[in-house]
Structure 1
Amino acid sequence: MEIVPKYRFDRLVADALDDLPDELQHVLDNVVVQIHDRHPVEHDLLGLYEGVPHTERTGQEGPDVVSIYRHALCEMCETMDELVDEVYVTVIHEVAHAAGIDDERLHQLGWG
Protein backbone atom coordinates (compact mmCIF):
# COMPACT_ATOMS: atom_id res chain seq x y z
CA MET A 1 0.00 0.00 0.00
CA GLU A 2 1.06 3.60 -0.40
CA ILE A 3 2.69 5.46 2.47
CA VAL A 4 -0.16 7.22 4.27
CA PRO A 5 0.30 10.90 5.07
CA LYS A 6 1.93 11.66 8.41
CA TYR A 7 -1.16 13.38 9.84
CA ARG A 8 -3.28 10.30 9.12
CA PHE A 9 -0.67 7.90 10.51
CA ASP A 10 -0.32 10.03 13.64
CA ARG A 11 -4.08 9.63 14.15
CA LEU A 12 -3.80 5.84 13.83
CA VAL A 13 -1.12 5.78 16.53
CA ALA A 14 -3.15 8.09 18.78
CA ASP A 15 -6.20 5.86 18.34
CA ALA A 16 -4.13 2.78 19.20
CA LEU A 17 -2.86 4.47 22.37
CA ASP A 18 -6.42 5.40 23.33
CA ASP A 19 -7.50 1.77 22.87
CA LEU A 20 -4.75 0.14 24.95
CA PRO A 21 -5.93 -2.37 27.55
CA ASP A 22 -6.45 -0.91 31.02
CA GLU A 23 -3.51 -2.97 32.29
CA LEU A 24 -1.14 -0.87 30.18
CA GLN A 25 -2.59 2.62 30.63
CA HIS A 26 -0.49 3.42 33.73
CA VAL A 27 2.73 2.86 31.78
CA LEU A 28 1.96 5.76 29.45
CA ASP A 29 2.69 8.23 32.26
CA ASN A 30 6.39 7.56 31.71
CA VAL A 31 6.54 6.85 27.96
CA VAL A 32 7.18 9.22 25.08
CA VAL A 33 5.77 7.88 21.81
CA GLN A 34 7.56 9.08 18.70
CA ILE A 35 6.69 8.46 15.08
CA HIS A 36 9.50 8.23 12.56
CA ASP A 37 9.48 7.41 8.88
CA ARG A 38 11.98 4.58 9.28
CA HIS A 39 14.57 3.18 11.70
CA PRO A 40 17.98 4.47 10.56
CA VAL A 41 19.58 1.01 10.37
CA GLU A 42 16.88 -1.68 10.44
CA HIS A 43 14.62 -0.38 7.68
CA ASP A 44 11.93 -3.03 8.15
CA LEU A 45 11.61 -2.53 11.92
CA LEU A 46 8.01 -1.66 12.85
CA GLY A 47 8.55 -0.36 16.36
CA LEU A 48 11.15 -0.07 19.09
CA TYR A 49 11.07 0.29 22.87
CA GLU A 50 14.02 1.98 24.59
CA GLY A 51 14.17 2.39 28.32
CA VAL A 52 13.92 0.62 31.65
CA PRO A 53 10.82 -1.57 32.01
CA HIS A 54 8.30 -0.40 34.60
CA THR A 55 8.98 -3.51 36.67
CA GLU A 56 12.69 -2.63 37.00
CA ARG A 57 12.51 1.13 37.63
CA THR A 58 14.10 2.73 40.67
CA GLY A 59 12.51 6.16 40.22
CA GLN A 60 15.67 7.82 38.92
CA GLU A 61 15.13 7.05 35.24
CA GLY A 62 13.86 9.48 32.66
CA PRO A 63 10.96 8.68 30.37
CA ASP A 64 11.04 5.61 28.15
CA VAL A 65 10.76 6.02 24.40
CA VAL A 66 8.55 4.03 22.03
CA SER A 67 9.27 4.63 18.36
CA ILE A 68 6.78 3.64 15.66
CA TYR A 69 8.01 3.47 12.05
CA ARG A 70 5.48 4.69 9.50
CA HIS A 71 7.09 3.57 6.23
CA ALA A 72 7.83 0.02 7.39
CA LEU A 73 4.28 -0.41 8.68
CA CYS A 74 2.70 0.98 5.52
CA GLU A 75 4.91 -1.18 3.29
CA MET A 76 3.92 -4.41 5.04
CA CYS A 77 0.19 -3.79 4.70
CA GLU A 78 -2.01 -4.12 1.64
CA THR A 79 -5.09 -2.29 2.93
CA MET A 80 -5.97 0.47 5.36
CA ASP A 81 -7.73 -2.07 7.59
CA GLU A 82 -4.52 -4.11 7.79
CA LEU A 83 -2.57 -0.96 8.63
CA VAL A 84 -4.96 -0.02 11.43
CA ASP A 85 -4.60 -3.51 12.91
CA GLU A 86 -0.83 -3.62 12.53
CA VAL A 87 -0.36 -0.17 14.08
CA TYR A 88 -2.41 -1.30 17.08
CA VAL A 89 -0.42 -4.54 17.43
CA THR A 90 2.88 -2.66 17.16
CA VAL A 91 1.88 0.02 19.68
CA ILE A 92 0.59 -2.51 22.21
CA HIS A 93 3.72 -4.64 21.72
CA GLU A 94 6.13 -1.79 22.44
CA VAL A 95 4.13 -0.33 25.34
CA ALA A 96 3.89 -3.81 26.84
CA HIS A 97 7.69 -3.99 26.80
CA ALA A 98 7.71 -0.73 28.78
CA ALA A 99 5.43 -2.49 31.29
CA GLY A 100 8.00 -5.29 31.61
CA ILE A 101 6.08 -7.85 29.56
CA ASP A 102 8.27 -10.08 27.37
CA ASP A 103 7.37 -11.51 23.95
CA GLU A 104 6.30 -14.89 25.33
CA ARG A 105 3.87 -13.31 27.79
CA LEU A 106 2.60 -10.96 25.06
CA HIS A 107 1.61 -13.96 22.97
CA GLN A 108 -0.05 -15.65 25.96
CA LEU A 109 -2.12 -12.51 26.50
CA GLY A 110 -3.00 -12.35 22.80
CA TRP A 111 -1.25 -9.00 22.42
CA GLY A 112 1.53 -9.89 20.05
Structure 2
Amino acid sequence: MEVGPERFEELVADALDELPPPLTRAMDNVVVLVEERHPEEPDLLGLYEGVALTERYSDYGGFLPDRITLYRAALADACEDEDELREEVAVTVVHEVAHHFGIDEETLHRLGWG
Protein backbone atom coordinates (compact mmCIF):
# COMPACT_ATOMS: atom_id res chain seq x y z
CA MET A 1 0.00 0.00 0.00
CA GLU A 2 1.05 3.63 -0.37
CA VAL A 3 1.50 5.88 2.65
CA GLY A 4 3.18 9.25 2.69
CA PRO A 5 5.92 10.13 5.15
CA GLU A 6 3.75 12.57 7.12
CA ARG A 7 0.86 10.10 7.56
CA PHE A 8 3.28 7.33 8.48
CA GLU A 9 4.85 9.49 11.20
CA GLU A 10 1.34 10.13 12.55
CA LEU A 11 0.79 6.36 12.76
CA VAL A 12 4.09 5.96 14.62
CA ALA A 13 3.17 8.78 17.03
CA ASP A 14 -0.22 7.15 17.62
CA ALA A 15 1.47 3.80 18.37
CA LEU A 16 3.83 5.46 20.84
CA ASP A 17 0.90 7.26 22.49
CA GLU A 18 -0.79 3.88 23.02
CA LEU A 19 2.09 2.55 25.14
CA PRO A 20 1.22 2.47 28.84
CA PRO A 21 2.44 5.66 30.59
CA PRO A 22 4.54 3.76 33.16
CA LEU A 23 6.36 2.11 30.27
CA THR A 24 7.06 5.35 28.42
CA ARG A 25 8.23 6.99 31.65
CA ALA A 26 10.70 4.14 32.13
CA MET A 27 12.19 4.54 28.65
CA ASP A 28 15.56 6.24 28.95
CA ASN A 29 17.93 7.77 26.40
CA VAL A 30 16.11 6.42 23.34
CA VAL A 31 14.89 8.07 20.14
CA VAL A 32 12.36 6.75 17.63
CA LEU A 33 13.18 7.40 13.97
CA VAL A 34 11.57 6.66 10.61
CA GLU A 35 13.59 5.67 7.55
CA GLU A 36 12.52 4.42 4.15
CA ARG A 37 14.21 0.98 4.24
CA HIS A 38 17.08 -0.74 5.98
CA PRO A 39 20.04 -0.55 3.57
CA GLU A 40 21.03 -4.22 3.91
CA GLU A 41 17.72 -5.90 4.80
CA PRO A 42 15.00 -4.21 2.70
CA ASP A 43 12.17 -6.26 4.27
CA LEU A 44 13.14 -5.41 7.86
CA LEU A 45 10.22 -3.64 9.58
CA GLY A 46 12.04 -2.18 12.58
CA LEU A 47 15.35 -2.19 14.40
CA TYR A 48 16.56 -1.45 17.92
CA GLU A 49 20.18 -0.34 18.31
CA GLY A 50 21.63 0.50 21.67
CA VAL A 51 22.26 -0.68 25.19
CA ALA A 52 19.16 -2.30 26.69
CA LEU A 53 18.08 -1.01 30.09
CA THR A 54 18.89 -4.41 31.59
CA GLU A 55 22.50 -4.04 30.40
CA ARG A 56 23.11 -0.57 31.80
CA TYR A 57 25.24 -0.56 34.89
CA SER A 58 26.70 2.16 37.09
CA ASP A 59 29.30 3.00 34.44
CA TYR A 60 26.63 3.74 31.81
CA GLY A 61 26.82 7.37 30.82
CA GLY A 62 27.83 9.64 27.99
CA PHE A 63 26.26 7.39 25.35
CA LEU A 64 24.32 8.63 22.35
CA PRO A 65 20.63 7.75 22.56
CA ASP A 66 19.51 4.26 21.65
CA ARG A 67 17.73 4.16 18.31
CA ILE A 68 14.46 2.54 17.39
CA THR A 69 14.03 2.79 13.64
CA LEU A 70 10.81 1.98 11.80
CA TYR A 71 11.07 1.34 8.06
CA ARG A 72 8.16 3.02 6.26
CA ALA A 73 8.37 1.30 2.87
CA ALA A 74 8.86 -2.19 4.32
CA LEU A 75 5.92 -1.76 6.68
CA ALA A 76 3.72 -0.38 3.90
CA ASP A 77 4.70 -3.26 1.60
CA ALA A 78 3.62 -5.76 4.26
CA CYS A 79 0.10 -4.32 4.52
CA GLU A 80 -3.04 -4.22 2.39
CA ASP A 81 -4.68 -1.12 3.86
CA GLU A 82 -4.24 1.58 6.49
CA ASP A 83 -5.97 -0.42 9.24
CA GLU A 84 -3.51 -3.26 8.76
CA LEU A 85 -0.63 -0.78 8.60
CA ARG A 86 -1.75 0.89 11.84
CA GLU A 87 -1.74 -2.53 13.54
CA GLU A 88 1.64 -3.54 12.09
CA VAL A 89 3.22 -0.24 13.14
CA ALA A 90 1.85 -0.72 16.67
CA VAL A 91 3.20 -4.28 16.85
CA THR A 92 6.60 -3.17 15.52
CA VAL A 93 6.80 -0.32 18.03
CA VAL A 94 6.01 -2.70 20.91
CA HIS A 95 8.55 -5.21 19.57
CA GLU A 96 11.38 -2.66 19.34
CA VAL A 97 10.53 -0.99 22.68
CA ALA A 98 10.64 -4.44 24.25
CA HIS A 99 14.25 -4.78 23.04
CA HIS A 100 15.01 -1.46 24.79
CA PHE A 101 13.79 -3.14 27.98
CA GLY A 102 16.03 -6.15 27.36
CA ILE A 103 13.48 -8.63 26.02
CA ASP A 104 15.11 -10.88 23.41
CA GLU A 105 13.72 -12.18 20.10
CA GLU A 106 13.02 -15.67 21.45
CA THR A 107 10.93 -14.33 24.32
CA LEU A 108 9.07 -11.93 22.02
CA HIS A 109 8.23 -14.77 19.63
CA ARG A 110 7.08 -16.97 22.50
CA LEU A 111 4.81 -14.13 23.68
CA GLY A 112 3.38 -13.65 20.18
CA TRP A 113 5.14 -10.32 19.40
CA GLY A 114 7.54 -11.60 16.80
Q: CA deviation at 1:30?
A: 1.6
Q: Is the Cα contact below 8 Å between 1:27 and 1:54 reproduced in 2?
A: no
TM-score if structure 2 supplies the norm length?
0.87
The equivalent residue for 1:78 is 80
Amino acid at match of 2:12: V
TM-score if structure 1 supplies the norm length?
0.88
Between Structure 1 and Structure 2, which shows a larger proportion of helix residues?
1
The equivalent residue for 1:66 is 68
Percentage of identical aligned residues: 60
Q: Per-residue displacement from partner, 1:12-31 (whole Å, max 9, x unpaired)?
A: 00010111134532343321
Distance 1:109 1:85, change over 3 A: same
- Please tell me whether residue 101 in structure 1 is matched to residue 113 in structure 2: no
Q: Which runs of 4+ in 1 moved over 2 A?
A: 21-24, 26-29, 103-112
- Please tell me whether residue 34 in structure 1 is matched to residue 63 in structure 2: no
Gap runs ≥5 in structure 2: none
SS of 1:48's equivalent in the other structure is strand
Gap runs ≥5 in structure 1: none
Q: CA deviation at 1:102?
A: 1.4
Amino acid at match of 1:68: L
Indicate the RMSD between aligned Cα atoms, in angstroms.
1.7
